[in-house]
Amino acid sequence: MSIKDISLSGKKVQVSNKKMTFTERIYLPAIVKGMWITIKHFFKKKDTIQYPEQQREFSPVYRGQHVLMRDEQGRERCTACGLCALACPAEAITMVAAERKKGEEHLYR
């Protein structure tokens, strides 16, 4: 056994120079273990999907999809207060004030 001095901390550490066995020297157990992990992952179900063709189903409590709620008569429940535009962290919501057009009276409150 030898003592090695680590200069960064100033502490002395006892290091053992144990002789490796024959199988450890040829790294056979390490190679077999690595191949076993590779083969195990090869036959596992893939987590990836082909995005444009396949789309994942959203959970019922998914909060990333914005939906404008409507009342019983089909009118939007927006009061145009603008708080959603102020609270959006990505600044993806903008509001522009405008008058209602002919035929849109039943769409908004």
pLDDT, average across residues 12-16: 78
What the block records as the tokens of 80 is 């145009």
Average pLDDT, the chain: 78
Quick one: which H or E segment has residue 41?
helix 28-42
Chain centroid, CA 47 distance in Å: 12
What's the pLDDT tens digit per position in 61-90?
777 766 677 778 777 777 777 778 887 778
Q: What is the pLDDT of residue 92?
A: 82
- What's the predicted TM-score (pTM) here? 0.32
Span of 6-10, 11-15, 76-80 with lowest mean pLDDT: 6-10
What's the pLDDT tens digit per position in 90-109?
888 888 877 878 877 666 65
Chain centroid, CA 64 distance in Å: 13
